[in-house]
Structure 1
């Protein structure tokens, strides 16, 4: 696939998030988040002891960074509002937080760059976590209040809204595999969290559509959800058990959100299997009507790696939780050795066609796709430029498959790379760098261009992939 061309109206940009970029964790009324608490309690859980406090200093550098995005010929970017910065403990607007986000949005628009706003990117105010966080059903209304205030405050300026980014990550990382604080391994609790996040999404969409109907939001505004969808694959000659592993992996990870967003329903075959295993999601009267409100205008499709699965050797793990699948190692796989993820560009096409088939008339865009590499200084040339040809190859191959999907009927509107400027990344901190633009941590977070910056600027300008 050489010199593929994308549609003229195909947009290019980048993805980022408030908690990973802003910093200024205790400035202008921002409240502590669950990440600040984890950083306070266990700083050695973060790579090189770099906790959540600074991000990449976007709070102070947003004007410089937005100009950088313009220089890359990007026409849009997605970030997130931090609940901890926008509202106080009483659920009221924090004037300083409101002022900051207005300044960021205004400066972006003045520079011809659209801002896509996401409302939740793994972060939560600590005072809500102290009440049980997403395990407590009361948080649904608190989130609805937060979403409503954000829509009303910024809706005249922001066209594109998203309720959650990767809503499977909090239940998985915090409550299922125990990788993040509070390190729990309770699948029942994980599915309760996933269900509560689902209801919160549906409530926010309902409020959004109500505000539009009442004329408080412009008609041009739209709302969506962003998930890290992963196309599932298994052996060439699968057994019934292997196919069952695919069904449940796909069901919990992908179809759950596709069905809510396109049909206003949960995948009941998945719910039935969970019930058979004793996993309760606490469905109550009125929930079905609320879930019916969860249909969105479009989807954000984050793609990093496929899910390769086979039948599990045991049906229950050492913690008493159900196992739906074991990993299947494809012998031909190519790995990003730094991140431990498989590089499989064809997967972005396969899942794009799955959306096209299973969710007809639901447009989408690639909302994250990127390659994180550790120790990029070793790729510096004699002029001090990081020659990240591996990143150019990664993005080029994925964009070629996106172009192929569009050619075959997929309604894919654009591409946001994660992340154009190096940023802090949860427990990995700055271990793996993703950016076309680097950040020098030892020199006041100074920005500098890598080789890939020139390449992506030309692609975003011409829409030609070469």
Structure 2
């Protein structure tokens, strides 16, 4: 048995997102979001589920914060529902929605839990989508005004802000793959949306800096890793394109002020390219205080002609898999963090999501989820390896605090440290909850 030590000030936390946990979809003056609309189209969501109630955290936030306190969390990452603040995406602030988040934040602070806020976790107000959504450049300024309103309202209370969660999902998964709201399948749309998201991020950072708000601001892309199957150049290039789809495409503009040539070529080979207006790249190229990194999976990869967008096929070497059928590849977290350090330097990093889907149910009043514990243990080990090799990791947030509405899979996928009975909404901490509590309390990991 070995002991893996984390720094005394390491920020252990957990994460959720507004649409996945809040419920109260038509309460408190909230307007419709694209997810309210998307979930009502038959066939979009498994079992016809929706987030109308979710975990009902809108009403049960005090109970959830009591669970966080018991767990020993030092930070809680949550998102604000844009349509709770601006029901139509713009206009007058809905004070009732703003008051809800003040109550949430005040309760976190009263329990010595640092609020870590995401401005956009996929739930665009439907009124903005009606005008083209993220394909319309006007949405950039609507986001900038929303961001500024939140910075002003919570200045001094919320000290850690992320602009966007997983822009790859908002652009490519929602507009090219098409299984997230709004459900389009067009590569040019996806590339265009990705660029608009980047500009909107830059505008929010500009506002944050210009107004001198207290705190730090960053950005939370999701990443994965593909290890080349062989030393053949074509395998390496195919894997480079696949990693670049999530990493370089969404980070080079911030840190280098330009899109990577190899990715521009890859998209242009399929007739797609961003519409870059004068001044766009300068807006995007704003210094950030930290990166939030979401990591779940990866694999071996090799070149295969005409196989998908990047001519890559994943090679399964017998990986264990989660109940989401994602390969468990902890080494990929170490490798992608080292890749980012080499390319962008020692940027402060928070792991803003990492976790596993296991659908363990309650038996005899307990939820035994040993596979989740092993998943977390292995990824924390690889995270510590990266820290030992100079990656400036400041914190780790498990996904998720609660079993919740898992987007297109509805309530059929459980990621939580806390089991939620979706019929009664009863919360039951899982064995992984108590394991993580011990890690947080000790500040070290047994492997």
TM-score of Structure 1 vs Structure 2, range by shorter chain = over 0.9
Q: Distance in 2 between matches of 1:4 and 1:109?
A: 29
Indicate whether 1:268 and 2:239 are aligned: no
Once the two structures are superposed, what CA deviation does each residue of 1:324-383 show, in whole Å capped at 9, x if it has no partner?
Answer: 1332213242222x2010101111111221222222131101111111123x22xx55x3
Paired position in structure 2 for 1:247: 240
Give, in whole Å, the separation in 1 of the partners of 2:345 and 2:182.
39
1:19-38 matched pairs, under 5 angstroms: 19-38=19-38
C-alpha deviations, 1:77-118, integer Å up to 9, x for none? 100111100114343211101111100000100010001010
CA distance in 1, matches of 2:45, 2:269: 38
**3-state DSSP class of the match of 1:248?**
helix
Shift of 1:27: 0.5
- Corresponding position of 2:82: 83
Question: Which segment is superposed worse, 60-69 or 180-189?
Answer: 180-189
Give the TM-score of the pair, scaled to structure 2: 0.95
Structure 2 residues not aligned, in runs of 5+? none
3-state SS of paired residue (2:293): strand
One of 365, 375, 388 as aligned partner of 1:384: 365
Matched residue SS, 1:306: strand
Kept in 2: contact 1:91–1:142 (CA 8 A): no
Q: Which residue of 1 aligns with 2:73?
A: 74
Partner of residue 330, structure 1: 316
Structure 2 partner of 1:224: 218
Which of 424, 433, 437 is residue 453 of structure 1 equivalent to?
Answer: 433
Say which of 236, 241, 259 aligns to 2:230.
236
Q: How does 1:53-452 map to 2 (within 5 A)?
A: 53-89=52-88, 90-212=90-212, 217-218=213-214, 221-238=215-232, 240-275=233-268, 277-293=270-286, 295-306=287-298, 308-314=300-306, 323-336=309-322, 338-374=323-359, 376-377=360-361, 380-381=362-363, 383-443=364-424, 445-452=425-432
Q: Residue 245 of structure 2 contacts residue 263 of structure 2 at CA under 8 Å; is this kept in 1?
A: yes
Does the Cα contact within 8 Å between 1:91 and 1:145 map onto a contact in 2?
A: no
Give the distance between the partners of 1:274 and 1:48, measured in 2 at CA: 35
Check conservation: 2:346, 2:391, Cα contact below 8 A: no
Q: Could you give the per-residue CA deviations for residues 267-326 of structure 1, whole angstroms, max 9, x where no partner exists?
A: 233224434543121111121221222x311101111001543324317x6xxxxx2133
In structure 1, runs of 5+ residues without a counterpart are 318-322
Q: How many residues align?
A: 445
Distance 2:436 2:97 in 1: 33
Partner in structure 2 of residue 462 of structure 1: 442
1:219-269, Cα deviation, whole Å (9 max, x unpaired): xx110000111122221233x332221232222211122223333432233
SS in 1 for 2:439: helix
Question: SS of 1:305's equivalent?
Answer: strand
SS at match of 1:117: strand
State how far apart, in whole Å, the 1-side matches of 2:41 and 2:318 are: 42
SS at match of 2:167: coil
Distance 1:449 1:269 in 2: 46
- Give the C-alpha shift of residue 182 in structure 1: 4.3
Aligned-partner SS, 2:150: helix
TM-score by length of 1: 0.92
Matching residue of 1:320 = none
In the superposition, relative to structure 1, how do residues 372 and 81 fare at CA in structure 2: closer, same or farther (>3 Å)?
same
Contact 1:225 1:261 in 2 (8 A): no
Write the distance in 2 (CA, Å) between the matches of 1:75 and 1:306.
28
Moved more, 128-137 or 299-308: 299-308
Instruction: Kindly indicate whether the alpha-carbon contact (under 8 Å) linking 1:81 and 1:118 is maintained by their aligned counterparts in 2.
Output: yes
**In 2: Cα distance, 1:332 partner to 1:164 partner:** 34
Compared with structure 1, are the counterparts of its residues 233 and 132 closer, same or farther at alpha carbon in structure 2 (3 Å cutoff)?
same
Distance 1:49 1:88, change over 3 A: closer
Q: Following the alignment from structure 1 to structure 2, what is the Cα–Cα distance between the partners of residues 247 and 134?
A: 27
- Deviation (angstroms), 1:384: 2.9
d(CA) in 1 for partners of 2:261, 2:67: 46
State whether residues 249 and 325 of structure 1, in contact with CA within 8 Å, keep that contact through their aligned partners in structure 2.
no
Alignment check: 8 A CA contact 1:309 1:325 kept:
no
Alpha-carbon contact 1:77-1:116 (below 8 Å) kept: yes
Query: What CA distance in whole angstroms lies between the structure 2 residues aligned with 1:223 and 1:287?
Result: 19
